[in-house]
Amino acid sequence: MPEAAGSHIPAFERLNSLPVRRSLGQGVFENLKRAIIEGDLPPESRIVESRVAEALGISRTPVREAIHKLEREGLLRQGPRGGFFVAGLSSSDIEETFGIRSVLESYAARLAALRHQEGELRPLEEKLEAYEKSLKRGDLDLLPRINTEFHDLLYGLSRSPRLIKMINDLRDHIYRFRLVILRIEEMARLSNRDHRLMLKAMRERDPDEVERLVREHILRGQSVVLREFDMAGN
Amino acid sequence: MPEAAGSHIPAFERLNSLPVRRSLGQGVFENLKRAIIEGDLPPESRIVESRVAEALGISRTPVREAIHKLEREGLLRQGPRGGFFVAGLSSSDIEETFGIRSVLESYAARLAALRHQEGELRPLEEKLEAYEKSLKRGDLDLLPRINTEFHDLLYGLSRSPRLIKMINDLRDHIYRFRLVILRIEEMARLSNRDHRLMLKAMRERDPDEVERLVREHILRGQSVVLREFDMAGN
DNA sequence: GTTCTTGATACCGGATGCAAGATACAGGAT
DNA sequence: ATCCTGTATCTTGCATCCGGTATCAAGAAC
């Protein structure tokens, strides 16, 4: 909400910049989630309520909330003797997740091709230009972020919020592994070519072509990640 | 541990048949979930921790656990002023969910066609025969259950547990609405024909055909449900 | 020396207590 | 009559407490 209700009343303007009143539990949830998907909490490491609570200077209650939510989301598993652990990913987990992404995201792209409206492709073009600029400069670190934003914009045009949420949840699970794809400059260039082709097919409203492009785009990512993963001795 | 420590000591044998020690919170979660997806708790009705706790004769703590998990799962939403409500479904929610199901389940079926092994189609055949027997008898009430079991068996052959879980979660969301499909005898017969064709294509390991059949099968369900839903004045 | 028992400790699930914010309502001012 | 406002109640979020169980280690029994 960029234009909040009272934003034009000078005396109250500052109130809008106050931190949003979020529950402690929600904060813990988001923090833990970030820590897990970014790899700060390595797989198989144990999560102990009281430790987390103590570290954050709060009670166990909100920590429990967060842990249970993360368990439902599949980022934590409870060991056979109780106790929660960060869920690790096997090679087949990764393969499975990329496979599911390939059908969900290609479907979202198909819907986007059918449903996008006048002018909505402009932000995609801009993102693409930003990507190419970074690529030319050798700023490979920026690419994952821009890449994700491009795909978010694309899927956003599907106007299917549940689908988008599912896609995002899946991406969170394998966030760490997606990073390696664009660190290979050859892949970064291939990605860019794919994006150009997607945009072209979007303009021509060719759902079959867009669907095919996204599917192959993701499956290429899958093979890169699996190769890296297996080489790392997993 | 299928062979518990004292299972051969007669005096303690009965202890092993005690209900599996499940956490209260998990039980509440499952109960509430059932109540929601079966419509016992109508959409938009408010869920109050203390009420639920009192009704079940337990404290608020496990109820909170359950509520928060249900919220993450999308079956509850919190109102703007706090407080939890049963999430209602709009026409577009239903449309969206069936669309996502069509791609996920057809993908699962494709994998099943590629991966099933010797003799694994037998349970599917039996389920199909049970379905036809009930259909001939006019036992329409039995059909949804048998139908679900058939699809579960089919997708199980995909050997993709995450995919299966996602499919089940989606089905839970629209459980109430799926019921109407098979109450129409014409649809029940069409369904049966679809299942026969799927089984045939599975035997021939024709993934494209299986995928196509499942997709159209689900989209037909979608149109039936949407028609009923809109007629009911939603 | 090996195994069994037993006690200490850590941790989780559940219950309860308490405070802050929201809601509803009643009474009073305009 | 309508709108404001103050109060009582309800509900949630967080903290704390309690009991049960699993883990581990040290000591006892064989």
CB contact under 8 A, A69 and B73: no
For residue A11, being part of any structural domain is answered with: no
> What's the CATH code of the domain at B62?
1.10.10.10
Are residues B122 and B77 part of one domain? no
Domain extent, residue A191, equals 91-231
Are residues A224 and A123 part of one domain? yes
Q: Which residues are B86's β-sheet partners?
A: B76
Are residues A148 and A213 part of one domain? yes
Domain boundary among B37, B59, B86: B86
Tens digit of each residue's pLDDT (9 = 90 or more) over A48-99: 999 999 999 999 999 999 999 999 999 999 887 778 999 999 999 999 999 9
For residue B183, being part of any structural domain is answered with: yes
CB contact under 8 A, A160 and B72: no
The mean of the pLDDT values for chain A is 89
pTM of the predicted structure, to 2 decimals: 0.88
Domain boundary among A55, A86, A117: A86
Tens digit of each residue's pLDDT (9 = 90 or more) over A187-208: 999 999 999 999 999 999 999 9
Tens digit of each residue's pLDDT (9 = 90 or more) over B197-227: 999 999 999 999 999 999 999 999 999 999 9
Kindly tell me if the per-residue pLDDT of A4 is higher than 60: no
CA distance B228 to chain A (A): 22
Nucleotide nearest to B22 (CA to C1'): C13
Strand D contact nucleotides, protein CB < 7 Å = 10-17, 22-23
Res A119: pLDDT: 93
Tens digit of each residue's pLDDT (9 = 90 or more) over B105-146: 999 999 999 999 999 999 999 999 999 999 999 899 999 999
User: Choosing among A20, A67, A69, which should be mutated to test the B contact, i.e. which has the most B CBs within 10 A?
Assistant: A69
For residue A6, being part of any structural domain is answered with: no
Are residues B63 and B114 part of one domain? no
Contacts of A69 in chain B (CB under 8 A): 68-69, 72
Q: Which residues contact B234 (CB under 8 A, 6 or more apart)?
A: B90, B91
The residues in B 173-232 lying below 8 A from A, measured between CB atoms, are: none
Are residues B193 and B78 part of one domain? no
3-class SS letters over B75-135: CEEECCCCCEEECCCCHHHHHHHHHHHHHHHHHHHHHHHHHCCCCCCHHHHHHHHHHHHHH
Q: How many domains does one find in chain B?
A: 2
For residue A162, being part of any structural domain is answered with: yes
Res B23: pLDDT: 83
Are residues B155 and B107 part of one domain? yes
Q: Which among A25, A64, A96 is the nearest to B160, CB-wise?
A: A96
Tens digit of each residue's pLDDT (9 = 90 or more) over A218-229: 999 999 999 999
Domain boundary among B86, B112, B135: B86
For residue B10, being part of any structural domain is answered with: no
Q: Which among A69, A97, A99 is the nearest to B72, CB-wise?
A: A69
Is the distance from CB of B134 to CB of B87 less than 8 angstroms? Answer: no
